Amino acid sequence: MFELIAEGSEPRQRCRFVLDPNETAQLGRSTAADLIVPWEAQLSRAHVGLTPDGTHVLLQRLETARNPVFVGGEPTDSCKLRPGDRFVIGRTVFHIGELSLSEESPAEVLVEEVTFAPGQLQQVRFEDADRRIDVLSKLPEVIWGAGSLSERDSRLVSLMLAGIRTADAVALVRIDDEGGVKVIQWDRRQETAGSFRPSSRLVTEALLKRQQTVLHTWESSDPADSVFTATADFDWAFCTFVNEDQHGPWGLYVAGRSEPRTLIERATGSPGSAILQADVKFAELVAEIISAVERVNHIEGDLSVLRQFLSPPILAALEQRGSQVGLNSDMLEPRECDVTVLFCDLRGFSHRAEEAADDLLGLLDRVSKALEVMSGRVLEYGGVTGDFLGDAVLGFWGWPFPSEDAPLNACRAALAIRKVFAETAETPGHALSDFRVGIGIARGRAVAGKIGTSDRVSVTVFGPVVNLASRLETMTKQLRVPILLDNSTAEIVRRRMSLEDGRVRKLGRVLPVGLETPLDVHELLPAEDERPDLTSEHIRQYEQGVEAFLAGQWEDAYHHLHRMPPSDRAQDFLTLRIAEHNRIAPPNWDGVVRLPEK
């Protein structure tokens, strides 16, 4: 594995990058570059491409580079570089180095392996607390002030070296998809001390097996041993788990050398161990802060997208739970659950579209306002807004958290939508005055959840219950009512909804085109003070008429239904059929009205 070390003319102008095998990395000043060196004015936004390939690194000057690249004092556009080679751009020297991993803790005999459980070091005191706090105060700038991830990693390594004075080398390490150890970024306190080979055994133990801090100590071997020269000057190292992201678990690797005779005491917690334990505690504190920030960023990233779909109570619950356990896939992943689905369609859109052919932007603005009314009421009553289907809105309740009140809240949202459009219909000149809505509500099992990629998320629900809610919405036209419920939802409304919130009445039994099982359909009505023309007595009379109709007693049904006020359009659905048959039920009447169309 190769690395690139950049050294400017100033002491602080220094950074180190790991080059991934067989992948081209662009070096430049732009935040879009893979390897960013911000201090070099002669560096273009994208200057050279570096591609590791086996035993060398191919350097290719890019077309966007304004200034030359010097190798061996001569300008070049392309060349092969080996470990130890260098090239120069402006006043910055770039070194090619080789990075390798030691399969074990160095061949020196392992003396001790110490695992630090969470909270174990809470009582450890910092002898240099002021300095450590000063270093930690720079952590926010490291996290948020960096222009790229590689710059953040480089700053983090430098911060760890500043915060742990006993450390001679620090690395950010990761377990990749294949279970191997990858060095993300590293640095040494003294560059002349040589290369650095983290122990893959230690990294694997800390990040993959235990996911907590593990410390190894060993006895130094003869520095003349050529195989272990790179690590013979270390006699302790620890690795601290930070987090696990989409690329795998990663952590902080710290190595150094102890004073003679104090190493075992420090490792095992005997007297004299305070310094090294304080260093471990500092690393764990840094790791905890970074992990918390990444978790919050991940939660915020998900929630920023989900805010358009989820109601404030659900968002608040997700944020609270996410801050404790992380907003993970278990919470938002699609899963089968009991849901109540509301399908709301805008009436009059097609006709208005023809009339507004010369002002489509104006029509779009009006339709958007109508959709805002629909989706806003779904969110207001704790629902989730799913897909926007042209001029229709899909909302559902029961995900991501189950709720016994899901059917009631869906009905409350439907009544609130109906009320807004009823009020605008009586307001001449209002943007929504010539729009009406049809709403279908059904309850059942479905698959609901978040689908998409890390940067593009949508929320949806699918299953037979969604199709049923859509069919009920379509049937509102034929039954001449604004809101229809399936039988399951209607039963819950009858039992649990206050008459001050809403009322329900059975309209009949129908068989829509394409379905094999008849449906009992019900109308959801507002409270009597909002619809005083339709009293509770009217509803009782209507349902008596429906029962008589189902039983084939059409003469009785006709008289019950004709007691409805003229403003009630629902009576037309049955009375027209009764009149067509001269108030006599057809032979073999089964109580089912077969709808001629969807």
pLDDT tens-digit map of 431-465: 676 778 999 999 999 998 876 655 555 678 889 99
Query: Do residues 366 and 455 both lie within one domain?
Result: yes
Query: Do residues 405 and 457 both lie within one domain?
Result: yes
Both tokens of 158, joined, read 């430098």
Alpha-helix residue ranges (DSSP H) falling in 335-486: 349-355, 360-380, 406-425, 464-479
Q: Count of domains in the chain?
A: 4
Q: Is 389 left (phi over 0), alpha (psi -120 to 50) or beta?
A: beta
Q: Strand 86-89's sheet: what is its strand order?
A: 14-19, 2-7, 92-98, 86-89, 69-71, 74-76
Supply the pLDDT for residue 230. 39
Quick: pLDDT tens for 476-498. 999 999 999 999 999 999 999 99
- Asked whether residue 103 is assigned to any structural domain, the reply reads no
Mean pLDDT computed over every residue of the chain: 81
**Mean pLDDT of the region 81-87:** 89
Whichever domain contains 26, its CATH number is: 2.60.200.20
The boundaries of the domain holding residue 442 are 325-497
Both tokens of 429, joined, read 């000149």
Query: Do residues 562 and 435 both lie within one domain?
Result: no
**Mean pLDDT of the region 125-154:** 74
- Asked whether residue 307 is assigned to any structural domain, the reply reads no
- Asked whether residue 518 is assigned to any structural domain, the reply reads no
pLDDT surpasses 80 at 295: no
Report the run of H or E that residue 396 belongs to, with start and end: strand 392-397
- Beta strands 503-511; 519-525: pairing state: antiparallel
Query: Do residues 29 and 128 both lie within one domain?
Result: no
Query: Do residues 234 and 139 both lie within one domain?
Result: yes
Supply the pLDDT for residue 270. 42
- Asked whether residue 303 is assigned to any structural domain, the reply reads no
Whichever domain contains 120, its CATH number is: 3.30.450.40
pLDDT surpasses 80 at 511: yes
User: Residue 373 and residue 375: Cα distance in Å, rounded?
Assistant: 6
Both tokens of 317, joined, read 């619950």
Query: Do residues 377 and 338 both lie within one domain?
Result: yes
Q: Strand 56-61's sheet: what is its strand order?
A: 35-36, 25-28, 48-53, 56-61, 78-81
pLDDT cut 90: percent of the chain above it: 35
**pLDDT band per the 50, 70, 90 thresholds, residue 263:** very low
Are the C-beta atoms of 373 and 432 separated by less than 8 Å? Answer: yes
pLDDT surpasses 80 at 392: yes
- Asked whether residue 434 is assigned to any structural domain, the reply reads yes
Are the C-beta atoms of 383 and 410 separated by less than 8 Å? Answer: yes
- Asked whether residue 413 is assigned to any structural domain, the reply reads yes
Whichever domain contains 458, its CATH number is: 3.30.70.1230
Which of 283, 298, 313 terminates a domain? The answer is 298
**pLDDT band per the 50, 70, 90 thresholds, residue 308:** low
Quick: pLDDT tens for 549-592. 999 999 999 999 999 999 999 999 999 999 999 999 999 999 99
User: Residue 169 and residue 145: Cα distance in Å, rounded?
Assistant: 24
**pLDDT band per the 50, 70, 90 thresholds, residue 356:** low
- Asked whether residue 283 is assigned to any structural domain, the reply reads yes
Supply the pLDDT for residue 554. 95
Supply the pLDDT for residue 87. 92
- Asked whether residue 523 is assigned to any structural domain, the reply reads no
Query: Do residues 559 and 478 both lie within one domain?
Result: no
